[in-house]
A and B are shown apart, each in its own frame.
Chain A
Amino acid sequence: MSNTATLIDNLKAEFQLEGNSALKSIKQTAWNTFETLGFPTVKNEEFKYTNFIPATKSNFTLQAKNSISLADFNSIELVKEEANVLVFVNGIFNTKLSNIISSKEEVYIATLAEALTDSKEEALITQHFAQYSNNISDAFTALSTALAKDGVYIHVAPNKVVSKPIVLYFIADTYTEEVFSQPRNLFIFDKNSQATIVESFTSFGNKVSFNNIVTEITVAKDAIIDYYKIQNENEKAYHVGTTQVNQKGNSVFNAVTVTLNGAIVRNNLNVVLDEEHVEANLFGLFLPSGNTHVDNHTIVDHAKPHCNSNELYKGVLDGKSTGVFNGKIFVRKDAQKTNAFQSNKSILLSDEATINTKPQLEIFADDVKCSHGATSGQLDAESLFYLRSRGLSEKSAKAMLVYAFASDVLSNIKIESLKLNLEHKIAEKLAVN
């Protein structure tokens, strides 16, 4: 057992100022912020229910080995269709398991480190890096910014449609050590471009892993982006994931976050609707069980008029698991004619599972349509009886009702094999078939 201060010391030893002077200055400021803030405790309102302090006491290595085999990778592959595949093991890019098939004309895909060696991309990175994420009061994001070394850089030029999905696998390899990794992604979608991105998180081995990942996404005018985040790590995996999105006029951003497993998972999905006629759709499904904990924090920031946001998060909680949904919606003074909808529905499969839901709407404009709703309850007893009276076992009946409950989230996933794969994993999780 180590302690939190040791981890901070070790992180400090990793901290080096690299890159151009602008990036250096951003990183230095971010490090100073992290040192001042430290890891958040439960006294921090944003982390009231989600405590990572015990996890920071693990004996982490920051330079982990990589022993993931092709067989390991095949066992977790999510997408059967032809796709661009980038694999990171403990935060380090794995060339062997990766395969980029789209042409350079269609999309520029590289590791962040590699992209920085290209002067054209470096200029873009400097322009966008850490410009959207919260590096002032969010310690995890500041830490990521300060220590950002590698991750995925995607740049789609104007009017380009990336026909093949881009699937990013972040694998924690804890076969030999406790690992702490911080991949850092930056996606730049130029005007009228289209792309589908998948971020997958899995873990191997039975030691503790900690993933602090930040993905920044900028979506220019008229671009249409699908973004799927799939988490299926083990019961010793701690995850803080922040996805920060900035959308310009007429763009559409669709996000689906599916959390199947993980010890303590915290997802921050923050979207700024930064010009008029923007549409953002945020869907989430989380299925904690045992003693695990899943916390989804979202911020939808309506900064400009005539924008639509639609948010639906569903939880299925079993065992002694706990869930948190915190959904903030800001409607700024200028953002007239805003439509913002939010809904969080949960099913508790056990008496010992808990969900904490907190919608937070702050509306400063007067001509808006906003609504929010939250429900939690058990599976409908009458529906269960109906299905059982037709010969379905209690387990099958429950699984069927859980699928049905989850289906309006999963139906937003447009990669067919991914959707089927998730349905299969959910079935496995509910111990049927």
Chain B
Amino acid sequence: MLSIKNLKASIGDKEILKGLSLDIKPGEVHAIMGPNGAGKSTLSSVLAGRSDYEVTGGSVEFLGKDLLEMSPEDRAREGVFLAFQYPIEIPGVSTTNFLKTAINEIRKHRGQDNLDAVSFLKMMKEKMKTVEIDQSLLSRSLNEGFSGGEKKRNEVFQMAMLEPKLAILDETDSGLDIDALRIVANGVNALRGKDNSFIVITHYQRLLDYIVPDFVHVLYNGKIVKSGTKELALELEEKGYDWIKEENKEAV
């Protein structure tokens, strides 16, 4: 589904991704862990098409197409979704409001007719239940006055509505208490299927108790330096990242 080869990206003069490679097949959940500054958020931003980053090398193929050539909206329309680490507030724009436009633009891209109001509302109700989010929240200005947990749940709600093929969760667990974490994980698990893949970026192993990954990768200094299964996450939880840093110091 997603094939990242030797990806290099910089912001300003600073190279952050230094040759990252990763392969994701349909239905797989990949967790990416790593210390602060390793390049985790850069990876998610580059995949979603944030223009602040310059890709200086490598390639990203998504379902056989060159992802890096696409505008952010085309990536979304092709099925990439990014749950933001810091969901922004947009006064005057409600979730319901922009999601309806988003869904119809995505459908148009796929050659489908507009979703009528009744079907849209039905879909909303269904997905609201999965992520335990209230209608009143979705009619308000996006994220304005939302708690941290509400913002993250709103991200997962949007993901559920847009039904992406590849969802990237960028530290969706940060700042969440255990109840919110469970709700967010339920939302993700409800969407899991043989055709959907996930990249779960996280600092902590805790989230992975709820969203059980197929693979765990350690991102350090702009590269994936270690890959394994969910046991690797437990090891990282126990030992921290210092041993990874040590190992790679030797390698350098």
Contact = CB atoms under 8 A, between A and B. Distances in A.
Interface of A: 380, 382-383, 385-394, 396-397, 400-401, 403-405, 407-408
B90 A383 contact: yes
B76 A401 contact: no
B102 A382 contact: no
Interface string B79-123: 001101001101111000111011101100100000000000000
B48 A389 contact: yes
B231 interface: no
B162 A390 contact: yes
A388 B101 CA distance: 11
Given A389-B75, A394-B73, 20 more contacts: A380-B90, A387-B93, A388-B72, A389-B48, A389-B73, A390-B98, A390-B99, A390-B102, A391-B73, A391-B77, A391-B105, A392-B101, A393-B73, A394-B71, A396-B101, A400-B93, A400-B101, A401-B90, A404-B90, A404-B91
B84 A407 contact: no
Contacts of A385: 50-51, 72
B191 to A, nearest CB: 16
Contacts of B105: 391-393, 396
A381 to B, nearest CB: 8
Contacts of A400: 93, 97-98, 101
B158 interface: yes
A404 B93 CA distance: 6
Contacts of A393: 73, 105
Interface in B40-92: 48-51, 71-73, 75-77, 81-82, 84, 87-88, 90-92
Nearest to A381: B51
Interface residues of B, number: 31
A116 B101 CA distance: 54
Nearest to A407: B92
B162 A386 contact: no
Contact of B98 (A387, A394, A405, A407): A387
Nearest to A405: B92
A74 B226 CA distance: 70
Given A385-B50, A385-B51, A391 B102 contact: yes
27 contacts: A382-B88, A383-B93, A385-B51, A385-B72, A387-B90, A387-B102, A388-B72, A388-B76, A389-B73, A389-B81, A390-B99, A391-B73, A391-B77, A391-B102, A391-B103, A391-B162, A392-B73, A392-B101, A392-B105, A394-B71, A394-B73, A396-B105, A397-B73, A400-B97, A401-B90, A407-B92, A408-B92
A388 B98 contact: no
A391 to B, nearest CB: 4
A380 B76 CA distance: 20
Contacts of A405: 92
A386 B88 contact: yes
B54 to A, nearest CB: 15
Contacts of A404: 90-93, 141
A382 B84 CA distance: 11
B116 to A, nearest CB: 17
Contacts of A390: 76, 98-99, 102, 158, 162
A403 B102 contact: no
A388 B106 CA distance: 11
B99 A401 contact: no
B90 A386 contact: yes
A345 to B, nearest CB: 12
A419 to B, nearest CB: 14
A318 B27 CA distance: 46
A13 to B, nearest CB: 52
A410 to B, nearest CB: 10
Given A396-B105, A400-B98, A400-B101, A388 B90 contact: no
Contacts of B106: 391
A386 B151 CA distance: 13
Contacts of B88: 382-383, 386
Contacts of B49: 388-389
B92 A403 contact: yes
Contacts of A397: 73
Contacts of A391: 73, 76-77, 102-103, 105-106, 109, 162
A386 B84 contact: yes
Contacts of B77: 391
Contacts of A388: 49, 71-73, 76
Contacts of B93: 383, 387, 400-401, 403-404
A403 B103 CA distance: 19
Nearest to A393: B73
A149 to B, nearest CB: 44
Contacts of A407: 92
